[in-house]
Amino acid sequence: MSFTPALDFAFEVRAEVADTLHIGHGDGEITEFTPIVGGSVDGPLLRGKVLAGGGDWSSTRGEVCELEARYLLQADDGAVIDIVNRGYYRPRADAPDQFDGELQVSDAGHYYRTSPVFRTDAPAHRWLAETVFVGLARPDGDHAVVIRMYALR
């Protein structure tokens, strides 16, 4: 019996960000920090907001940017959820526009993927900490990033 994993849309995070802060650079590497100042969470499985105070650390080597964001979500019921979201951004000529139905979820020419991990002890949201997710990310202007979260089944 064969099995092909599938992804189910769970929710979308829109993280509003402040200007990026340059930390330093080393041998072929640039390190930066981008503060997360708020945002929203909307989808069939989770609704709420992104709390201010987190951030995204990035290390760029050549054209590849390795990302590690940590921030808090607050569900509509008040529960607080910790998210650590690691991923990569890089130009990729063969990457097409990607759509979920009619909604464009990624831009042609860019590989921008994340692998979020959630933590919470809120019973209604415990499923987040027990599920593997894949995020498709895209910039939204200069001061926001949108990550469409898919649960792996």
Each residue's pLDDT tens digit, 4-41: 889 999 999 999 999 999 999 888 899 999 999 999 99
The full length of the chain comes to: 153
Amino acid at site 53: G
Q: Residue 56: pLDDT above 90?
A: yes
Check residue 94 and give its pLDDT.
80
Check residue 139 and give its pLDDT.
87
CATH class of 7-152: mainly beta
Calculate Rg over the CA atoms of the chain: 16
Check residue 33 and give its pLDDT.
97
Domain boundaries, the chain: 7-152
> What DSSP state is assigned to residue 19?
-
The mean pLDDT value for 125-131 works out to: 97
Check residue 25 and give its pLDDT.
84
Check residue 107 and give its pLDDT.
72
Check residue 58 and give its pLDDT.
96
Each residue's pLDDT tens digit, 86-97: 999 988 778 777
Distances (CA, A) of 24 to 75, 87, 92, 103: 35, 20, 26, 37
Check residue 22 and give its pLDDT.
94
Write down the pTM of the prediction: 0.90
Q: Residue 100: pLDDT above 90?
A: no
Q: Residue 109: pLDDT above 80?
A: no
User: What mean pLDDT, rounded, does the chain reach?
Assistant: 92
